[in-house]
């Protein structure tokens, strides 16, 4: 089997992502909320330290997007922090975390002093962490300045420019660095819709009721449907429920769906009859680009049940 260089690069990147996720959980402070990682389309991370500085080993280095296996930018939905992860062609992983005090957002032009690393930083302190696989401080102090940061939906970091200074393990020798990153234009937020057919069917022998409609979306989504049908009768009210019915939606034309409600999913003691009934339908789907679940709302319509 022939494997081209792109495939090798993708495999290496996938392995690096997994390794980074595991290591970050141990070495770097957890980001509040759900962090999103996006590959930078352009940017650089550079740093230098004087002789005796532990993390840099007294060397200057710079990494640029496109020349490394990974150059990812991540941030939580509350816009409180920014993280950068770089994996070199040799497989070495560098990680940077810049985080505002708890309850604050990273702000253009702001300088955060008295920063330290997790778990020593208090909630009111900013957090700064920078290191590599074998070059992490046990404790550190420092400061950083957010020259510019811009966001897309749900904490998606579109642009980041920052400088930082870190003192490792009580040393008076600083490491100084700067990061510049641009990610792709953020994807559209998911929007879904749910329509209900005005007519359903009833199998008078089995008692099963079938209802349907159509779903719409502005980008691919797996929509989970739930709902109920009820019909007021002289002897009471017939009620049938359905849930966890999946529609694979693609943008463009509405995607039809049908659900058959068996007798076992109906309230005992009543049966549906041909005639007018009420259908309530709900739909929800996870946005594949953002950490959010989107709802189609409460859709209610009068329908007519006819014999199948």
Residue 249 CB burial class (10 angstroms; 0-12, 13-18, ≥19):
buried
Check: CB of residue 182 under 8 Å from CB of residue 159: yes
- DSSP annotation of 264 reads G
Residue range 277-286, pLDDT digits in tens: 999 999 999 9
Query: Which tens digit of pLDDT belongs to each residue from 49-59?
Result: 999 999 999 99
Average pLDDT, stretch 166-182? 96
Across the chain, mean pLDDT equals 89
Cα distances from 225 to residues 194, 218, 228, 298, in angstroms, run 9, 17, 10, 11
Tokens of 218: 């502005």
- pLDDT (tens digit, 9 = 90+) per residue, 90-110? 999 999 999 999 999 999 999
Confidence of residue 13 (pLDDT cuts 50, 70, 90): very low
Chain center to CA of 219? 16
| Strand locations in 136-235 (E) | 140-151, 157-168, 174-183, 192-196, 199-202, 209-217, 221-233
Of 93-97, 122-126, 155-159, 217-221, where does mean pLDDT reach its minimum? 122-126
The strand pair at 192-196 and 209-217 is best described as: antiparallel
The string over 30-58, giving b where at least 16 C-beta atoms fall within 10 Å of a residue's C-beta and e elsewhere, is ebebebbbbebeebbbebebeeebbbbee
- The separation between the first and the last C-alpha atoms of the chain, rounded to the nearest angstrom, is 55
Q: How many CB atoms lie within 10 A of CB 94?
A: 23
Q: Check whether 239 has a pLDDT greater than 60.
A: yes
The yes-or-no verdict on residue 208 having pLDDT over 80 is yes
Categorize the per-residue pLDDT at 122 as very low, low, confident or very high, splitting at 50, 70 and 90. Answer: confident
Count how many Cα atoms sit within 13 Å of the Cα of residue 272 in the half-sphere of its side chain.
Answer: 38
Asked if the model's pLDDT at residue 65 lies above 70, the reply is yes
Which tokens sit at 176?
A: 């100084």
């Amino acid at each position: 089997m022939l494997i081209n260089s792109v495939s090798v690069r993708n495999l290496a990147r996938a392995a690096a992502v997994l390794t980074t996720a595991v290591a970050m959980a141990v070495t770097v402070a957890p980001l509040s909320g759900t962090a999103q990682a996006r590959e930078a389309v352009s940017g650089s991370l550079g740093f230098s330290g004087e002789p005796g500085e532990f993390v840099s080993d007294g060397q200057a280095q710079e990494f640029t997007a496109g020349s490394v296996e990974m150059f990812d930018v991540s941030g939580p939905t509350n816009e409180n922090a920014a993280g950068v992860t770089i994996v070199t062609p040799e497989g070495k992983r560098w990680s940077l975390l810049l985080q505002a005090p708890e309850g604050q957002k990273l702000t253009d032009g702001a300088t955060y002093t008295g920063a330290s690393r997790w778990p020593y930083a208090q909630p009111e302190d900013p957090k700064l962490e920078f290191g590599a696989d074998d070059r992490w401080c046990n404790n550190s102090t420092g400061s950083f300045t957010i020259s510019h940061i811009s966001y897309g939906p749900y904490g998606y970091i579109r642009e980041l420019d920052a400088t930082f200074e870190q003192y490792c393990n009580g040393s008076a020798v600083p490491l100084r660095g700067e990061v510049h990153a641009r990610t792709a234009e953020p994807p559209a937020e998911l929007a879904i819709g749910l329509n209900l057919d005005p007519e359903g069917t009833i199998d008078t022998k089995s008692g099963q009721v079938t209802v349907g409609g159509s779903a719409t979306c502005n980008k691919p989504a797996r929509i989970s449907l739930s709902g109920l049908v009820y019909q007021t009768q002289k002897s009471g009210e017939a009620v049938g429920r359905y849930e966890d019915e999946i529609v694979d939606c693609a943008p463009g034309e509405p995607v039809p769906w049908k659900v058959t409600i068996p007798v076992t999913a109906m309230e005992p003691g009543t049966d549906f009859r041909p005639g007018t009934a009420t259908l309530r339908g709900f739909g929800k789907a996870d946005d594949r680009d953002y950490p959010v679940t989107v709802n189609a709302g409460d859709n209610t319509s009068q329908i007519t049940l006819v014999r199948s």
